[in-house]
């Protein structure tokens, strides 16, 4: 439900972004390696648009890496809108993303409440002294915390102020999550296909989207919706590839979009793990490590997580988003901020998490140390690449701790809800402590 207070929060979030966009800090933020990468830099987008205007293929060199569909959209934005209007579009995209996340959170929390009540009705034990917080008691605040965690997340604010195209990617992700929870086959398939064409890794999101569409079908009749989802995804992905070919007149874009992500030719520093490894290693080991890294982020965790989290596809989608943000070729803080904004959906799991303080400290320290060490390395020359990579490695480890902690907390809480924590040992009451 939209209230005057909520509209006030949206206005405040938009005002913060616009003020920073029109300050001297905007250029500094846009040039930060944590914010802009080779894939999402607005400067590269404008240069690609100018190349296309002069009938030069922007995919010939190593400059432009957006999809031809994105190139067409950005060309219209660049030609017909002023710079002020462009900034407003970025802010509006963030606000729409927050609304999509709010709608997704409302539907998902309602599902969780319903499922928990059904489990409690079937529960054999009648003890009421359970060490867990019913979801229904925190449902309203959890729903509101999700858009707030997106709008006022420093990572997301900097991502928007830096005018990165990750703003629009996050919008597509939020729309995909909303379509997924609404069981929309067309919407989910199309958005995942569009995201796959842009970033390759989102293909894994077909798994939770398919699980959602099959939940309303009996066990023996789920083959049809699975087939439909695969067909729709393949059709939309093929149609988008062909549309891209019609826009450009050739297939050169594949090498500078999906090929660029897979082969990792640009080794400028970012918050990821690829740049340092591929800078230091011998060239004849390069393809071995590329295969290892890409299998790790794109394939390795898909099936195990799908089997473990098949009953909670939204948590499964969250896990995939987090893995992609940690291990993808060219990550940025906008990717991290998006999946972190989803954390309030599982606020009921926080009680069972054990690494919260440690992860929070790591995140805070790494966020502060990254620009400091960068200045020492690039400008003061009192540090080297090892220092900056150490910060990015710690940042990745903190995210891994966060993801594993929330997944283990989910298992612990499910055990508490289904079986209770009270038991008897030698005829005396005792309590099971989940650690």
Question: pLDDT tens digits, residue range 75-110?
Answer: 999 888 899 999 999 999 999 999 999 999 999 999
Q: Is residue 171 part of a domain?
A: yes
Q: How many other β-carbons are positioned within 10 Å of the β-carbon of residue 342?
A: 24
What's the average model confidence in pLDDT over 58-77?
91
- CA dist 203 and 130 (Å) reads 39
What's the average model confidence in pLDDT over 270-288?
89
Q: Is 262 helix (H, G, I), strand (E, B) or coil?
A: helix
- What's the pLDDT score for residue 24? 92
Name the residue with higher pLDDT: 409 or 121: 409
Q: Is residue 283 part of a domain?
A: yes
How many folded domains does the chain comprise?
Answer: 1
- Inform me whether the pLDDT recorded for 282 exceeds 70: yes
User: Nearest CA to 169 among 137, 139, 202?
Assistant: 202
Contact 88, 161 (CB under 8 A): no
Phi, psi (degrees; rounded to nearest 5) at 131? -90, 60
- What's the pLDDT score for residue 428? 61
What's the average model confidence in pLDDT over 143-171?
95
Q: Is residue 434 part of a domain?
A: no
Q: Is residue 431 part of a domain?
A: no
Residues 420, 421, 422, 424, CA torsion sign: positive
- The radius of gyration of the chain from alpha carbons, rounded to an integer in Å, stands at 23
Q: Is 333 helix (H, G, I), strand (E, B) or coil?
A: helix
Q: Is residue 113 part of a domain?
A: yes
Contacts of 38 by beta carbon, 8 Å cutoff, 6+ apart:
44, 65, 260, 266, 268, 330
Determine the structural domain holding residue 359 and report its residue range.
4-421
Contact 158, 166 (CB under 8 A): no
Q: Is residue 428 part of a domain?
A: no
- CA dist 129 and 132 (Å) reads 9
428 strand-pairing partners: 425
CA 291 from centroid of its chain's CA atoms: 22
What's the average model confidence in pLDDT over 393-405?
95
What's the average model confidence in pLDDT over 177-183?
95
Mean pLDDT of the chain: 89
425 strand-pairing partners: 428
**377 falls in which pLDDT band (50, 70, 90)?**
very high
Q: Is residue 318 part of a domain?
A: yes
**218 falls in which pLDDT band (50, 70, 90)?**
confident
Q: Is residue 156 part of a domain?
A: yes
User: Nearest CA to 60 among 242, 247, 256?
Assistant: 256
């Amino acid at each position: 439900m939209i209230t005057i207070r909520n509209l006030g929060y949206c206005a405040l979030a938009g005002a913060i972004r616009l003020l920073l966009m029109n300050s001297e800090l905007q250029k500094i933020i846009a040039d930060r390696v944590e914010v802009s990468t080779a894939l999402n830099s607005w400067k590269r987008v404008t240069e690609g648009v100018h190349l296309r205007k002069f009938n030069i293929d922007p995919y010939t060199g190593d400059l432009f890496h957006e999809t031809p569909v994105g190139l067409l959209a950005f060309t219209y934005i660049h030609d017909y809108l002023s710079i002020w209007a462009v900034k407003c579009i970025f802010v509006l995209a963030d606000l729409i993303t927050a609304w999509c996340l709010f709608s997704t959170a409302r539907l998902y929390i309602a599902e969780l409440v319903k499922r928990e009540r059904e489990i409690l009705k079937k529960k054999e034990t009648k003890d009421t002294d359970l060490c867990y917080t019913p979801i229904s008691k925190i449902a309203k605040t959890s729903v509101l915390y999700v858009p707030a965690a997106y709008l006022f997340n420093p990572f997301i604010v900097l991502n928007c102020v830096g005018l990165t195209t990750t703003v629009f990617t996050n919008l597509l992700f939020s729309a995909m999550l909303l379509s997924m929870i609404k069981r929309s086959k067309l919407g989910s398939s199309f958005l995942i296909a569009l995201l796959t064409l842009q970033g390759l890794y989102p293909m894994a999101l077909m798994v939770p989207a398919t699980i959602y569409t099959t939940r309303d079908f009996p066990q023996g009749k789920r083959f049809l919706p699975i087939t439909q989802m695969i067909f729709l995804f393949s059709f939309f992905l093929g149609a988008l590839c062909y549309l891209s070919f019609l826009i450009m007149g050739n297939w050169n874009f594949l090498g500078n979009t999906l090929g660029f992500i897979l082969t990792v030719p640009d080794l400028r520093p970012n918050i990821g793990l690829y740049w340092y490894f591929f800078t230091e290693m011998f060239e004849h080991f390069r393809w071995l490590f590329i295969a290892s890294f890409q299998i790790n982020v794109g394939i390795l965790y898909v099936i195990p997580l799908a089997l473990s989290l098949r009953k909670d596809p939204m948590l499964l989608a969250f896990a995939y988003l987090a893995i992609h943000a940690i291990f993808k070729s060219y990550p940025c803080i906008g990717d991290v901020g998006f999946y972190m904004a989803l954390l309030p959906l599982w606020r009921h799991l926080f009680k069972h998490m054990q690494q919260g303080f440690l992860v929070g400290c790591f995140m805070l320290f790494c966020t502060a140390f990254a620009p400091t060490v960068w200045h020492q390395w690039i400008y003061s020359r009192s540090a080297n690449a090892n220092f900056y990579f150490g910060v990015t490695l710690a940042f990745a480890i903190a995210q891994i701790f966060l993801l594993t902690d929330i997944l283990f907390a989910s298992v612990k809480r499910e055990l508490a809800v289904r079986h209770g924590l009270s038991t008897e040992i030698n005829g005396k009451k005792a309590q099971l402590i989940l650690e």
